[in-house]
Amino acid sequence: MEREVLTTKEAVEYLRITRTTIFKLIREGRIKTTKAGRDYRFLKSELDKFLRGENEEPKISSGAGR
Protein backbone atom coordinates (compact mmCIF):
# COMPACT_ATOMS: atom_id res chain seq x y z
CA MET A 1 0.00 0.00 0.00
CA GLU A 2 1.36 3.39 -1.01
CA ARG A 3 1.82 5.95 1.77
CA GLU A 4 -0.49 8.92 1.41
CA VAL A 5 1.19 11.06 4.11
CA LEU A 6 4.86 11.91 3.62
CA THR A 7 7.50 13.44 5.88
CA THR A 8 9.60 16.35 4.68
CA LYS A 9 12.43 13.98 3.75
CA GLU A 10 10.06 11.76 1.76
CA ALA A 11 8.47 14.77 0.03
CA VAL A 12 11.89 16.11 -0.97
CA GLU A 13 12.81 12.73 -2.42
CA TYR A 14 9.44 12.39 -4.18
CA LEU A 15 9.69 15.84 -5.79
CA ARG A 16 13.47 15.54 -6.33
CA ILE A 17 14.14 18.98 -4.89
CA THR A 18 16.21 20.28 -1.97
CA ARG A 19 14.96 20.94 1.57
CA THR A 20 15.62 24.65 0.98
CA THR A 21 13.37 24.62 -2.08
CA ILE A 22 10.53 22.77 -0.34
CA PHE A 23 10.57 25.24 2.55
CA LYS A 24 10.48 28.12 0.05
CA LEU A 25 7.46 26.54 -1.68
CA ILE A 26 5.74 26.14 1.71
CA ARG A 27 6.37 29.83 2.59
CA GLU A 28 5.02 30.89 -0.81
CA GLY A 29 1.87 28.81 -0.23
CA ARG A 30 2.53 26.73 -3.35
CA ILE A 31 2.52 23.44 -1.41
CA LYS A 32 -0.06 22.76 1.29
CA THR A 33 1.22 21.10 4.46
CA THR A 34 0.30 20.25 8.01
CA LYS A 35 2.67 21.00 10.83
CA ALA A 36 3.43 17.97 13.03
CA GLY A 37 5.54 19.09 15.97
CA ARG A 38 8.72 20.57 14.51
CA ASP A 39 8.25 18.96 11.11
CA TYR A 40 5.73 19.03 8.29
CA ARG A 41 3.52 16.34 6.81
CA PHE A 42 2.53 16.35 3.16
CA LEU A 43 -0.39 14.64 1.47
CA LYS A 44 0.90 12.87 -1.61
CA SER A 45 -2.22 14.06 -3.44
CA GLU A 46 -1.22 17.71 -2.73
CA LEU A 47 2.29 17.07 -4.06
CA ASP A 48 0.77 15.54 -7.18
CA LYS A 49 -1.41 18.65 -7.61
CA PHE A 50 1.71 20.81 -7.32
CA LEU A 51 3.46 18.74 -9.98
CA ARG A 52 0.48 19.17 -12.31
CA GLY A 53 0.44 22.94 -11.67
CA GLU A 54 -2.93 22.87 -9.91
CA ASN A 55 -1.76 24.63 -6.74
CA GLU A 56 -0.98 27.95 -8.38
CA GLU A 57 -2.05 30.97 -6.38
CA PRO A 58 -4.78 33.04 -8.04
CA LYS A 59 -3.38 36.04 -9.89
CA ILE A 60 -4.32 39.34 -8.27
CA SER A 61 -5.54 41.99 -10.66
CA SER A 62 -3.55 45.21 -10.63
CA GLY A 63 -6.74 47.18 -11.11
CA ALA A 64 -5.79 48.28 -14.61
CA GLY A 65 -8.74 48.60 -16.95
CA ARG A 66 -11.17 49.78 -14.31
Residues 4-48 pLDDT 10s? 999 999 999 999 999 999 999 999 999 999 999 999 999 999 999
Can you give the pLDDT at residue 14?
97
- Rounded to two decimals, the pTM is 0.76
Alpha-helix runs per DSSP H in 1-59: 8-15, 19-27, 44-52
What is the band of 54 on the pLDDT scale with cuts at 50, 70, 90? confident
Q: Alpha-carbon distance 57 to 48, whole Å? A: 16
Q: Which residue has the higher pLDDT, 62 or 5?
A: 5
Q: How far apart are CA 41 and CA 62, in angstroms?
A: 34
